[in-house]
């Protein structure tokens, strides 16, 4: 067990941004005291820290790794042990608008549901404002859409764009949780096409350096999401065939030929995990890609993903 390096208090942790300390507390909190702990200053501090987050918020590598590990545990369902502790810790690293819980009325306890709705679904549940008499009528179901700006044309620009990086991660996680949400699906498909275009035009010798940034984490979240199982559009099918051709030695391609790593990265977001194997992967795939390929892509996703 590691000894703590500094003291913290529930009343001051929000103003001091001590979200790591609060996350560790929630992960260790006893089940029978969760409702009373949430009703205490600890719950208020948690909500305050969540409200400080925006799609532009950045996180350390350790925080991203913790959030991803929690996300994988939560994929097993909300009936597993420690689910609520995991949810509360996850909120501290999940900006509103980039995280959603499917069927929250069934999956969250009554004492926590109001906070979730307030923090993460307030825009969707808030009543539409009353229009002035002189204003043109607006359908009640038409909500303002956030402007994320254009997706960067190059990967070099993308790694400096926190909005789009967090959007990639949020959409991938939301699709994994609720693949039936057509709005999420269409937005994820478009961002995948934008990403593919940027990967194709990137110099191959820069890919390793770029994948060592948060971009790599976002890319593997997209691969893990399972969106590849959706029927492909003509544009997506064209990119899939291009990648397959570039990786076929019989077509003049294959690993070791120029642009093969670009094609491989494109292939993994279009082929379903487990359906495209690389013979002799240890000799053909560079070390920075080999581990995630074997862990995330080489095996089929669990049923229902």
99-151 per-position pLDDT tens digit: 778 788 888 898 998 888 888 876 444 443 333 333 333 343 444 445 567 88
Q: Which two three-digit tokens encode residue 51?
A: 């409200």
Q: Are the beta carbons of 10 and 41 closer than 8 angstroms? A: yes
Closest CA to 269 of 291, 299, 236, 305: 236
The answer to whether residue 56 scores a pLDDT higher than 90 is: no
Q: Are the beta carbons of 167 and 214 closer than 8 angstroms? A: no
Q: Mean pLDDT, to the nearest integer, of 95-101?
A: 79
Cα–Cα distance, 182 to 142 (Å, whole number): 16
Q: What percent of the chain has pLDDT over 90?
A: 39
**Better-scored residue on pLDDT, 208 or 130:** 208
pTM beyond 0.85, yes or no: no
Among 12-21, 164-173, 203-212, the range of highest mean pLDDT? 203-212
């Amino acid at each position: 067990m590691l000894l703590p390096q500094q003291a913290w208090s529930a009343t001051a942790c929000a103003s001091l941004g001590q979200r790591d300390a609060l996350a560790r507390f929630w992960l260790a909190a006893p089940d029978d005291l969760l409702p009373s702990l949430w009703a205490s200053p600890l719950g208020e501090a948690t909500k305050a820290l969540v409200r400080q987050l925006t799609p532009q918020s950045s996180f350390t590598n350790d925080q991203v790794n913790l959030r991803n590990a929690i996300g994988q545990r939560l994929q097993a369902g909300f009936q597993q042990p420690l689910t609520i502790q995991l949810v509360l810790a996850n909120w501290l690293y999940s900006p509103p608008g980039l995280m959603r819980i499917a069927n929250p009325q069934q999956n969250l306890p009554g004492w926590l549901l109001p906070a979730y709705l307030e923090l993460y679904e307030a825009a969707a549940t808030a009543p539409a404002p009353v229009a002035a008499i002189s204003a043109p009528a607006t359908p009640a179901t038409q909500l303002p859409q956030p402007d994320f700006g254009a997706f960067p044309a190059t990967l070099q620009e993308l790694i400096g764009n926190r909005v789009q990086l967090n959007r990639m991660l949020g959409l991938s996680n939301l699709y994994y949780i609720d693949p039936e949400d057509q709005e999420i699906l269409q937005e994820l498909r478009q961002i995948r096409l934008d990403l593919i275009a940027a990967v194709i035009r990137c110099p191959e010798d820069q890919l390793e350096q770029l994948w060592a940034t948060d971009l790599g984490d976002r890319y593997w979240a997209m691969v893990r999401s399972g969106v590849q199982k959706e029927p492909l559009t003509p544009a997506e099918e064209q990119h899939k065939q291009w990648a397959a051709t570039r990786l076929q030695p019989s077509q003049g391609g294959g690993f070791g030929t120029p642009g093969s790593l670009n094609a491989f990265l494109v292939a993994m977001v279009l082929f379903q995990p487990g359906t495209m194997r690389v013979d002799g992967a240890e000799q053909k795939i560079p070390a920075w890609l080999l581990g995630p390929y074997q862990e995330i892509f080489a095996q089929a996703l669990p049923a229902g993903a």
